[in-house]
Amino acid sequence: MKRTRAVMLLSMLVLPWWVQAAVDETIRYKDSIEIQAPIEAVWRRAGNFGDLGWHPAVGKTEITAGTNNQVGAARRITLKDGGTIDELLTEYDEAAFSLRYKITEGVLPVRDYAATLSLKAVDGKTVVTWRSTFKRKDPGKAPAAGQDDDSAKAAIAGVFKAGLENLKALSER
């Protein structure tokens, strides 16, 4: 009887750690920027799924399947450092100035990544909001250095910040 109680007590103390380690948490990240330009002008640049040239890390964007700016279009982004990211357009609403896509394969330390880029007109300016959900790349095991949830979130935060700041600079010229 004592052994059974000890096993139960030990299970209660250790189980939460094991359960927590097995949980595969979805990470959410969002960033916004206000641009001193009309929404139509910003959308012409940011809303073109086939041209991510406004992002400073991107060397080339090419449509690899489907038709640009139509749901189902696939693009390959070649980064200036040579890495690639393949993405699929899952929603596109020109009237609402919004597009949604997901990464199907790539060099970023994330998986199950989906993002929405949306624009909103505010007093002649444009507020661009980029939001995403994702998980770190290696589930179910202790992450290697630089591959944990905080590192994955920091990588996406860096991508968003650089992109939004450059979009602002290009749009306000």
Condensed to tens digits (0 to 9), the pLDDT of residues 49-96 reads 999 999 999 999 999 999 999 999 999 999 999 999 999 999 999 999
| Among 113, 112, 116, 142, residue whose Cα is nearest residue 129 | 116
Q: How many domains does the chain have?
A: 1
Least confident span in 46-50, 78-82, 138-142: 138-142
| Residue 152 counted as domain residue | yes
Q: What is the CATH number of the domain that holds 155?
A: 3.30.530.20
| Residue 4 counted as domain residue | no
| Residue 11 counted as domain residue | no
| Residue 122 counted as domain residue | yes
The pLDDT value recorded for residue 136 is 86
| Residue 12 counted as domain residue | no
| Residue 89 counted as domain residue | yes
Let me know the angle formed at the C-alpha of 86 by 82 and 88, rounded to the nearest 5 degrees.
Answer: 155
Structural domain containing residue 55 = 24-171
Strand order across the 74-79 sheet: 27-35, 125-136, 110-122, 98-106, 84-93, 74-79, 58-65
Q: What percent of the chain has pLDDT over 70?
A: 81
Q: Report yes or no: 77 and 57 within 8 Å, Cβ to Cβ.
A: no
| Residue 14 counted as domain residue | no
| Residue 8 counted as domain residue | no
User: Using 50, 70 and 90 to split pLDDT, how confident is the model at 20?
Assistant: very low
